[in-house]
Amino acid sequence: MSRMKETVLELRGSRATTELGRAFGMAAPAGAVISLIGPLGAGKTTFVQGLAQGLGVSQKCKVTSPTFTLIKEYEGRLRLYHVDAYRLSGAAEMAELGAEELFSSEGLVVIEWADRVVGVLPSRRVDIRLSHGGPSLRLARVTPVGRPGRWIRKALDEHGRVAGTANRSATASAMGDEEA
């Protein structure tokens, strides 16, 4: 089987970003790691809000970026560890905060500003690069790193089902088979 390739999605409006996160939350297995990369306002926290919805985190929990606390935890189908690396000086500081323990947990770890701590990220993860494509358009580049598993295809298929046939056909054409 060939490896899964990078997939580029057009996300029209914040709801589409939330829905992509929700699809990933529904599909993610225990121990998954998602790194989010992108400029301010690209939709990283909006994606995490959807991720929390997909994991079944209580709607009473307000999911916000942990810019000053660095890590927030939420209870759902899996425990969600939401990390914001914006204020970290680099991978060494992330390691000091207990990155190894986080990455070996049975929860789901999502890291905003992951490009600041790439040296400590696990070799099996999914990188999602969010960028501005216009006033209400975001682009999401989904790249599996180190064969993280079939769950990513499941998440993209679910997102395509919810978003409509245009995204589904774009997703299908960009994907190859992957190994678990």
Tens digit of pLDDT at every position of the chain (180 positions): 345 688 999 999 999 999 999 999 999 999 999 999 999 999 999 999 999 999 999 888 888 887 777 889 999 999 999 999 998 888 998 898 888 888 989 999 999 999 999 999 999 999 999 999 888 899 999 999 988 778 998 899 888 876 663 443 344 334 443 333
- Residue 119: DSSP 8-state: G
In angstroms, the CA 109 to CA 68 distance is: 18
**What 3-state DSSP class applies to 150?**
coil
pTM for this model (two decimals): 0.85
Burial 34-58 (b: 16+ CB within 10 A, else e): bbbbbeeebbbbbbbbbbbbbbebe
The domain defined by 7-174 carries CATH number 3.40.50.300:
yes
